[in-house]
Chain A
Amino acid sequence: MGKVSISLIVNGRSCQIDVEPRWTLLETVREELRLTGTKEGCGTGDCGACSMIVDGKLITSCCMLAPQADGSDVTTIEGLLSNGDLHPVQRAFIETGGVQCGFCTPGMILATKALLDRTPKPTLDDVREGLAGNLCRCTGYTKIYEAVRAASNRES
């Protein structure tokens, strides 16, 4: 058996891709679909930079083999714009200074979206719990906490 054919929806579009079983969902999205917004920071599920939302759940795509995403609904950072408008979470991150080097940002924004989808008005503890799987080395997290608060206020 060489490649496996998988069908999935990525950011609302149906895709059919032939993948090698050893490809992760992360590298498939980056290399085959050329959606390079999602990043690899560690390859072992420890930093969260590769976070995507698959079937409504936040996951680390570097640990998911591409064939396991067959039949799934995948959202990456590129899927957050709607009609060219920034998602409230994206806007909040820019406005509060929650973005510095930007490498953790796509994963962090998706983790924030997943958090707010579950808990629209999170407490600071909820935020710190929800984002614990996303490492940032630049901000010290303070402005990210502010970004999440701003986004949750805006979405109401």
Chain B
Amino acid sequence: MRTFDFHAPTALSEALELLDRGDRSRPLAGGTDLVVQMKEAATKFTYPPSVISLLRVPELQGIEFDQSSGLRIGATTTMADLADSAEVQEHYAAIAEGAAVVGSVQTMNMATLGGNLCNAAPSADTAPPLLAHDAEVVITGPDGQRSLPTYEFLVGPGETALAPNELLVEVRVPTPADRSGAAYVRHTPRHQMDIAVVGVAVFMTLSDGDRIENVRIALGAVAPTPIRATNAEATLKGQLATEDSFANAAKTAAAECNPISDIRGSVEFRRHLAETMTKRMLQRAANRAKGG
């Protein structure tokens, strides 16, 4: 690697000051993305003059849940902590499932939610679950704090809505209504350790009569950013939660994808997977909503 400076601020204000110098220094959390990118230093990569480690900034830490305000996840929360959190598993199953597949035990101990989101890979495993749960990211900078839906935060492959002097502070997820369920699955060539070929998250709320009151379908690795399959969602609103309605929605969701062919899969394969997996996740979310 080339030479760079290292800072380890112990307060958010300190971290923001360092970032505000405007010299393209990079925030660093777990290192599983940034350190690898710095080693490989591909042509598109601009080498930062310094890295700012965020792991000692207390305002970025912790997971809190309460019934009224929902879930707050600090940006430097590791995937392991997120996946292991009883509250996240209970109320936000898709998020726990996304965090649990990000990689090996080692990767999960190092990789952070903030890092995963800010790296903004189209295949990021935490993104479809956050989209499906209608999560918002909280950003702070010298001009103050702002919130954005996750969908607007992830702007393009490797691109977020962060200004160069802003930091992702936390993610907030609303409390799910009663009779809600969520699920996330991804397809990889090996049984672990791979980048998702396709990732699908579904969040569903059912009425007492098992009608779909609310549904959100989010797909990863099938477009430049993770997307919501809004057409598919529209076909389901108010419908009964049946295999047929799911199959139909899944077809629609597949058509909303805009995947590319790369070494991990062709366009046809990704579309096919999107359909198969959407159908399965709709079923799983519905089962969980029913209390199954």
Q: Contact check: which of A20, A64, A70, A115 meets B110 at CB < 8 Å?
A: A64
**Chain B interface helix/strand/loop/mixed:** mixed
Q: Is B234 an interface residue (CB 8 A)?
A: no
Question: Contact: A45 with B1, CB < 8 Å?
Answer: no
The interface residues of chain A lying within 8 Å CB-to-CB of B191 are 132
Contact between B3 and A68, CB atoms less than 8 A apart: no
A44's partner among B30, B36, B109 (CB-CB below 8 A) is B36
Q: Which residues of B contact A70 (CB under 8 A)?
A: 8
The B-contacting residues of A in range 104-156, CB under 8 angstroms, are 111, 114-115, 129-130, 132-134
Among B3, B38, B50, B103, which residue has its beta carbon within 8 angstroms of that of A20?
Answer: B3
Look across to chain B and name the residue whose beta carbon is closest to the beta carbon of A25.
Answer: B31
The answer to the question of A65 belonging to the interface, with a C-beta cut-off of 8 Å to chain B, is yes
Complex alpha-carbon distance, A62 and B107, angstroms: 11
CB distance from B102 to the nearest CB of A (A): 11
Check B260 for interface membership: any CB of A closer than 8 A: no
Beyond A59-B110, A65-B28, A68-B53, whether A133 also contacts B105 by CB under 8 A is yes
- Tell me the A73-129 residues at the B interface (CB within 8 Å): 111, 114-115, 129
Q: Tell me if B106 and A45 are in contact (CB < 8 A).
A: yes
Q: Which of A46, A64, A130 contacts B35 (CB 8 A)?
A: A64
With a CB–CB cut-off of 8 A, which chain A residues contact B107? 45, 60, 133
Structural contact, B36 and A111, CB atoms closer than 8 A: no
**Cα-based distance from A26 to B270 in the complex (angstroms):** 37
Distance in Å: Cβ of B55 to nearest Cβ of chain A = 7
The distance in angstroms between the C-alpha atoms of A59 and B112, with both chains bound, is: 13
Q: Is A58 an interface residue (CB 8 A)?
A: yes
- State how many angstroms separate the Cβ of B137 from the closest Cβ of chain A: 24
Q: Contact: B31 with A132, CB < 8 Å? A: no
A-chain residues with CB within 8 Å of residue B110 when the two chains form the complex: 45, 59-60, 63-64
A110 nearest CB neighbor, chain B only? B106
* Other A-B pairs beyond A1-B5, A59-B110, 4, CB < 8 Å: A22-B2, A63-B32, A63-B110, A68-B28
Which residues of A are at the interface with B, using a C-beta cutoff of 8 A?
A: 1, 4, 20-22, 24, 43-46, 48, 51, 57-60, 62-65, 67-68, 70, 111, 114-115, 129-130, 132-134
The 7 closest A-B pairs by CB, nearest first: A133-B104, A21-B6, A22-B1, A57-B109, A132-B192, A60-B106, A1-B5
